[in-house]
Amino acid sequence: MTIRLGYQIPNFTYPGPVEQTFDTVVAQAREAEASGFDTVLVMDHFYQLPGIGAPENAMLEAYTTLGALATATSTIQLSTLVTGNTYRNPALLAKTVTTLDVVSHGRAVLGIGAGWFEREHHDLGFEFGTFTERFERLEEALTIITPMLKGEPSAFEGKWYTTRGAMNNPRFRDDLPIMLGGSGEQKTFRLAARFAQHMNIICDVDDLARKVAVLRQRCEEIGRDPATLATSYLVMGMVGETEQEAKELGESIPEDRRNRAFLGTAGQVAEQLHEKVLGAGIDGLTINLIRNGHRPGVVSAVGAALKPLVAA
């Protein structure tokens, strides 16, 4: 399993009435599938994130959305980027993603992270806890989930979670891949080396080469070949038909995300990503088009420009 070219849909605020919202999501997923993307990803959030929109803006629940997309597409992988571990019991999450894999005929990827958006936890009644506690919970969750994805009973007694021979049937396969998302060198990268098949690194582009080197080191520390842990990078794409349009799109980028955003025409962005991202040692690209991905043709143009960069 690998994600060479992913398309993330983080924004569900579109022109038109709410009954057309999911139709617009489907149109993007199908356009991505037809234009060379191998994975469609959605965020696992309940409110819109700062820097994208207001918290009350539209946000679809991730696994309901992915389950529906499974019936609207045929070849593209389906994943969150990434599931907030704090939102779901881990045994239930194993069942959820395995069911998505059955429904999609083997196209599910379990993207998972520790969780970070405190307001969602506060408003919806999820326990947030400390940074350390959230990573303790993530490690326990991965310990429970990993055997369940393989069809092995999960028996675990931890500080946060307990399972007693938890079973997980039916399964489409016994090697459903796990992807971690984040940038933490001490905790996230160590968990990725132990449990994951894929690591999506989320950081400023200037830090990327160092992050890749540290991730490889974490693998080597436990005797794992770093080449067995695929990597990708999340790109905020401000892609216009013209440089001027791209510049106007880029005016909305918050200051703290400017080093993760790429502006220009599709061809110009492809050149930047080839040099700054793939050149840093990353295997694959995941891009979102927050402002204009819902417009017909935009995803196709970006796919055509990026696909040659990651062709096997």
Q: Is residue 45 pLDDT above 90, yes or no?
A: yes
Render the burial of 15-45: b for 16+ CB within 10 Å, e for the rest: eeeeeebbebbbbbbbbbbebbbbbbbbbbb
Q: How many CA atoms does the CB half-sphere of 16 hold within 13 Å?
A: 12
pLDDT confidence of residue 127: 97
For residue range 71-121, what is the model confidence (pLDDT) as tens digits?
999 999 999 999 999 999 999 999 999 999 999 999 999 999 999 999 999
Query: Are 163 and 141 contacting, i.e. CB atoms less than 8 angstroms apart?
Result: no
Domains and CATH numbers, the chain: 5-310 (3.20.20.30)
Copy the structure tokens of residue 260.
């993760």
Its pTM stands at 0.96
Instruction: For residue 253, name the pLDDT band (cuts at 50, 70, 90).
Output: confident
* Phi, psi torsion values for 39, nearest 5 degrees: -145, 140
Phi, psi of 265, rounded to the nearest 5 degrees? -70, 170
Buried b (16+ CB within 10 A) or exposed e, 258-274: eebbbbbbbebbbeebe
Question: What is the pLDDT, as a whole number, of residue 80?
Answer: 98
Amino acid 72 reads A
**179-235: per-residue pLDDT in tens?**
999 999 999 999 999 999 999 999 999 999 999 999 999 999 999 999 999 999 999
DSSP state of 224: -
Strand pairing partners for 164? 155
Spatial distance between the Cα atoms of 109 and 196, rounded to a whole number of angstroms? 11
pLDDT band of residue 14 (cuts 50, 70, 90) is very high
Q: Average pLDDT over the chain, rounded to whole?
A: 96
Residue 1 clears pLDDT 90, i.e. is over it: no
**Sign of the Cα pseudo-torsion (80, 181, 310, 14, in order):** positive
269-302 pLDDT, tens digit each: 999 999 999 999 999 999 999 999 999 999 999 9
Query: What is the structure's pLDDT at 252?
Result: 81
CA angle 12, 2, 114 (to 5 degrees): 60
- Give the helix/strand (H/E) hosting 24: helix 21-34
Contact present, 288 and 10 (Cβ < 8 Å):
yes
pLDDT of 312: 66
Quick check: 98 and 66 in contact, CB under 8 A? no
Taking CA atoms, 287 is separated from 134, 207, 218, 262, in Å, by 27, 18, 26, 10
